[in-house]
Amino acid sequence: MSAKTLIAAAGRASGKTTRLIQLARSFDATILTTDAGRAAYVRESARGLGANVRVMPFAEYVSSDGIDKTGHVVIDDADDVLEALIGHGVSAITLNGAML
């Protein structure tokens, strides 16, 4: 993967998470989510696609010393993860990357 971040921006139920699962499988990346509930949903979606990918809440990934953090990560609903990380709503963001 290049230094640029790939970006999928679209409405709910538009296939972003499915595409993210495919990318995670291609990059051998861990999928980070906002919380355990979302992680369970993404894991189940990945199983339905026949994809064996690692999925975990971002807080678990950040706080764990026992997880290999040398590989790539992909982030599901990055706006929600960012809000959870900083503790309040995010009005706007900018990203450097390429649209999928």
Query: pLDDT tens digits for 7-59?
Result: 887 778 888 999 999 999 999 999 999 999 999 999 999 999 999 999 999 99
DSSP 8-state secondary structure symbol assigned to residue 87: T
Tokens of 72: 């790539």
C-alpha–C-alpha distance, residues 1 and 58, integer Å: 21
pLDDT 10s digits, 51-82: 999 999 999 988 887 777 778 899 998 889 98
Q: Is the pLDDT of residue 84 over 80?
A: yes
Q: How confident is the model at residue 1 (pLDDT cuts 50, 70, 90)?
A: very low
Q: pTM, whole model, 2 decimals?
A: 0.84
Find out whether 4 and 97 touch, Cβ atoms under 8 Å. Answer: yes
